[in-house]
Amino acid sequence: MLFVVDDITDEMSAAEARRMSVISLDGLRNWEIPRPSGEHPAGEMHRRQGYSRRLAYYPHPSCDSFSARLHRVASSDVLARFIANYELYLKAVINEADERDRNVVRPSFDTYLTLRRETGAVIMCFDLLLVPAEIPDSILNDARVARMERLGLDLICVGNDILSFNVEQARKATHNAVVVVMHEHGLSVQDAMDFVGRWYCQTVEEFLEAMRDVPPCDSVIIRTRVKMYFAGIANWVTCNYEWSLRSGRYFAADEDPLESGWVVPLLDIEGKTEN
């Protein structure tokens, strides 16, 4: 569902993304109510997940929707947390569309990260890790947990930017860490990629340190749940780049950057004509 939202909003104006966001959020909240006829399919997709790449809705009678399962298995606290973070994600998507409308590139890597942590659509996925084993708000609000979440978000989002850069530069997309660094420091593609790569390696070390920094808990059970939550975030980091390499979304089936020593020929820019 998140990849579909990401793909279709990449081609939307801020106004279009805003309208779709309202419909999507309403469909997620009110999943038992059928959507109005003629509405954008995003509403029904969020109410009862089922779609093709073109967002044509096709419910399967044997399939229970994501929204139905979420409302059934999540506690009221986790559900509220998920929907609140999903709303922040949709607002960030609108901000990204607005900057795309105005052809704006974020002025620095740091300012880019403040938006990228939300457009990555990851924090509410972390919320789903709490469904089987809730953690008290007093622990979730602890600075050590917040640091772990932030570092995990950064590694996932910037890792995605590194691996998706070739496809995105071909589309002339600018919401990418490598592009931002190129503009901020006046670097070539390779130098900017090296810059972001060094940042990524340093952040991995910080992440591993944060994993060991578990906040004090009132019981062994809660401490175990926090460790499980940290491990779930770490799995997200690993699965993100493994999926990015193998899914075919960013690399062709016959193209393995691991085998080529990470030498990846740049794709032609779409719409560019030869002189």
Superfamily for domain range 105-269: Farnesyl Diphosphate Synthase (1.10.600.10)
State pLDDT tens for residues 139-190: 999 999 999 999 999 999 999 999 999 999 999 999 999 999 999 999 999 9
Q: Give the integer Cα–Cα distance in Å for 96 and 255.
A: 30
Predicted confidence (pLDDT) per residue in 84-110, tens digit? 999 999 999 999 999 999 999 999 999
Phi/psi at 187 (nearest 5 deg)? Answer: -100, 160
For residue 99, the SS3 value is helix
The DSSP secondary-structure symbol of 216 reads P
Would you tell me how many other CB atoms lie within 10 Å of the CB of residue 129?
19
For residues 255, 259, 265, 268, the Cα torsion angle rounded to the nearest 10 degrees is 10
- Taking the C-alpha atoms of residue 9 and residue 3, their distance in angstroms, rounded to an integer, is 10
Distances (CA, A) of 229 to 130, 225, 245: 7, 6, 25
pLDDT of the residue at 63: 53
- C-alpha 6/C-alpha 157 separation (Å) is 13
The answer to whether 27 and 44 have CB atoms below 8 angstroms apart is yes
Percent of the chain surpassing pLDDT 90: 69
- Tell me, what's the pLDDT at 49? 59
pLDDT < 50 regions, the chain: 50-62, 273-275
- Domain assignments of the chain as residue spans, ordered by start: 1-74+87-103, 105-269
